[in-house]
Amino acid sequence: MKIKWWKALCIALLLYTIIAGLLIKVPALPILHETIRNLYFHVTMWFAMIFILSVSVWNSVRFLSGFEQKYDTVAVESAKAGVFLGILGILTGSLWAKYTWNAWWANDPKLNGAAITLLFYFAYFILRSSLEDENKKARISAIYNIFSYVMLIVFLLVYPRLSDSLHPGNGGNPGFNTYDLDSTMRKVFYPAVIGWCIFSYWLTELGIRLKKAAMITDEL
Amino acid sequence: MFFRQVAGIISKEFTQDFRQKSFIAGVLLYVIATVYICYLSFRTILHPPTWNALLWIILVFAGINAVSRSFMGESKNRQLYYYYLCKPHVFLSGKLIYSALLMLFLGMLTYFFYGIFINNLVQDKLMFFLILCLGSIGFAAILTMVSAIASRTGGSFGIMAILSFPLLIPLLLLIIRLSKNAVDGLDRSLSLPYIGVTSLLIMIIVTLSLVLFPYLWRE
């Protein structure tokens, strides 16, 4: 069985993230304690989500510049992967919050940002499902995708500055940036980011292949 | 040339909407009825954040109701006619300015009736008025573009609401924060950065609409 090099890299990086992330020594911080290990999963998943949503928007732009159907397929499949990672991010975050803040959900700018991100993309999928014609669907949803992505980025940049966050590293809370002086956490953090990004791309690729297969079976 | 065409579209929108008495009466009734329902349920509101949030929520719904007509009220044949008459950015500019005027009118109206029926807690009136204008223009900018998108889907009111809520939230949060400062009568220098950010956001929305609209328009 042959496996593409980047898929092998993805598996290796994620295995490393899970094993090293759970076993390697972490700085002991108040409040956080061992839950700091969630940094390798929760935070990196958000990074990967932003990465794959950017891929989605880039493909929407490419679709509008040439109206080639294949770009639309990439855009929608990567948006799906992004939403999947977003839901994983919310779940890991929620679980973590239960142990550190003693609540599943809190009124925090970053949490609201996450919820709104998902809202944007649910609206995007509803818009797609309400259109019949393939070409029209691709064009209009690409426009909505670009419009909402720009709004989202502006929002994610501006909103956390309006009020203080409960998150580690914000508002005087301990975070790994200030305490991880010997950079042990970075050794896992950066590979994890790359690993999850490749993972999201892999998901997208699988989605595209499934769609192609469905198109072929439809033709038969 | 550009300005004459834009002015032409604005005046066309104006006559089209005000010739139908049902439209303007509908908007008026929507605002008054909503405010009156709030009056019946709340009587009076003494808590400034609640007062502020309720006003903006009423305005958001009234805005979605009024501005959704901008594109969804046009028949397909007439849209084709406009397509021959003028360039997309001219058409959109006209629509945007008209929507902004409509929203400004709606904002003042809501504020007026809200003040009469419920109460007026605003301490810094001038600042609040400025924020009301800013918010109305921002809502108009987002809702016009969403209306254009929603009109392409066959045009139900539901899809308009679904598409516009996520886009409105960032602006709404900024505006509610700003107007809360004005209601509490805080020092104006505290609000200035937020006003800057809000204006920037509105500019981004308008630019984005102008860039993306031509793709939406061609069938």
User: Got the DSSP string for A37-92?
Assistant: GGGGTHHHHHHHHHHHHHHHHHHHHHHHHH--HHHHHHHHHHHHHHHHHHHHHHHH
A187 Cα to chain B: minimum distance (Å): 36
What's the burial of B29, exposed, middle or buried (CB within 10 Å: 0-12/13-18/19+)?
A: exposed
Give me the pLDDT at residue A171, please: 56
Question: Which of A158-167, B42-51, B55-64, B194-203 comes out lowest in average pLDDT?
Answer: A158-167
For residues A18 and B27, give the distance between their C-alpha atoms in angstroms, rounded to a whole number.
58
For residues B161 and B44, give the distance between their C-alpha atoms in angstroms, rounded to a whole number.
29
* Interval B14-47: pLDDT, tens: 888 888 888 888 888 999 999 999 999 988 888 8
Give me the pLDDT at residue B203, please: 93
For residues B175 and A40, give the distance between their C-alpha atoms in angstroms, rounded to a whole number.
36
Q: Which residues in chain B are closer than 8 Å to A131, comparing Cβ atoms?
A: 152-153
First to last CA, chain A: 29
Residue among B92, B146, B163, B180 with most chain A CBs within 10 A, to mutate: B163
- Using pLDDT thresholds of 50, 70 and 90, give the confidence band for residue B87: confident
* Interval A123-157: pLDDT, tens: 999 999 888 888 888 999 999 999 989 988 888 87
Give CA torsion, residues A173, A174, A177, A182, to 10 deg: 170
Cβ proximity of B118 and B39 under 8 Å: yes
Question: Tokens 């929608």 correspond to what residue?
Answer: A76
For residues B212 and A61, give the distance between their C-alpha atoms in angstroms, rounded to a whole number.
10
Summarize the confidence of residues B143-166 as an average pLDDT.
Answer: 85
Q: For residue A194, is pLDDT > 70? A: yes
Give me the pLDDT at residue A13, please: 87
Q: For residue A173, is pLDDT > 80? A: no
For residues A175 and A191, give the distance between their C-alpha atoms in angstroms, rounded to a whole number.
19
Give me the pLDDT at residue B219, please: 63
Residue among A158, A163, A164 with most chain B CBs within 10 A, to mutate: A158
Q: Determine, for residues A123 and B166 on separate chains, whether the beta-carbon distance falls below 8 Å.
A: yes
Summarize the confidence of residues B181-205 as an average pLDDT.
Answer: 88
For residues A94 and A146, give the distance between their C-alpha atoms in angstroms, rounded to a whole number.
29
Q: Which residues in chain A are closer than 8 Å to B201, comparing Cβ atoms?
A: 154, 158
User: How many Cβ contacts (< 8 angstroms) between chains A and B?
Assistant: 72
Cβ proximity of A197 and A48 under 8 Å: yes
Q: For residue A26, is pLDDT > 80? A: no
Question: Which residue from B121, B28, B118 is spatially nearest to B66, judged by alpha carbons?
Answer: B28
Residue B197: C-alpha distances to residues A47, A154, B159, B178, B206 (Å): 25, 10, 29, 11, 14
Q: Percentage of residues in chain A with pLDDT exceeding 70? A: 87
Residue at A58: amino acid letter: W
Highest mean pLDDT among B20-24, B121-125, B138-142: B138-142
Q: For residue A166, is pLDDT > 70? A: no
A89 Cα to chain B: minimum distance (Å): 19
A61 Cα to chain B: minimum distance (Å): 10
Q: For residue A179, is pLDDT > 80? A: no
Q: Percentage of residues in chain B with pLDDT exceeding 70? A: 99
Cβ proximity of A79 and A53 under 8 Å: yes
A66 Cα to chain B: minimum distance (Å): 11
Cβ burial A8-21 (10 Å sphere, 16+ → b, else e): eebeebbebbeebb
Give me the pLDDT at residue B130, please: 92
In total, chain A counts a number of residues equal to 220
What is the DSSP-derived secondary structure letter of residue A34?
G
Summarize the confidence of residues A107-117 as an average pLDDT.
Answer: 82
Would you call A61 an interface residue with chain B, using a CB distance cutoff of 8 Å? no
Angle in degrees, CA A125, A135, B205, rounded to 5 = 60
Q: Which residues in chain B are closer than 8 Å to A116, comparing Cβ atoms?
A: 166, 169-170
Summarize the confidence of residues A196-202 as an average pLDDT.
Answer: 91
Q: Determine, for residues B170 and A151 on separate chains, whether the beta-carbon distance falls below 8 Å.
A: yes
Residue B16: C-alpha distances to residues A66, A165, B26, B96, B144 (Å): 37, 49, 15, 15, 17
Residue among B145, B146, B164, B173 with most chain A CBs within 10 A, to mutate: B173
A115 Cα to chain B: minimum distance (Å): 10
Would you call A38 an interface residue with chain B, using a CB distance cutoff of 8 Å? no
- Using pLDDT thresholds of 50, 70 and 90, give the confidence band for residue B104: very high
Q: Which residues in chain A are closer than 8 Å to B166, comparing Cβ atoms?
A: 116, 119-120, 123, 148
Q: Determine, for residues B153 and A131 on separate chains, whether the beta-carbon distance falls below 8 Å.
A: yes
Question: Which residue from A39, A159, A145, A158 is spatially nearest to A89, judged by alpha carbons?
Answer: A39
For residue A175, the SS3 value is coil
Q: For residue A30, is pLDDT > 80? A: no
Question: Which of A46-50, A154-158, B48-52, B160-164 comes out lowest in average pLDDT?
Answer: A154-158
Question: Which of A60-64, B42-46, B180-184 comes out lowest in average pLDDT?
Answer: B42-46
Question: Tokens 């590293």 correspond to what residue?
Answer: A169
Question: Which of A10-14, A25-29, A155-159, A215-219 comes out lowest in average pLDDT?
Answer: A25-29
Q: Determine, for residues A162 and B174 on separate chains, whether the beta-carbon distance falls below 8 Å.
A: yes
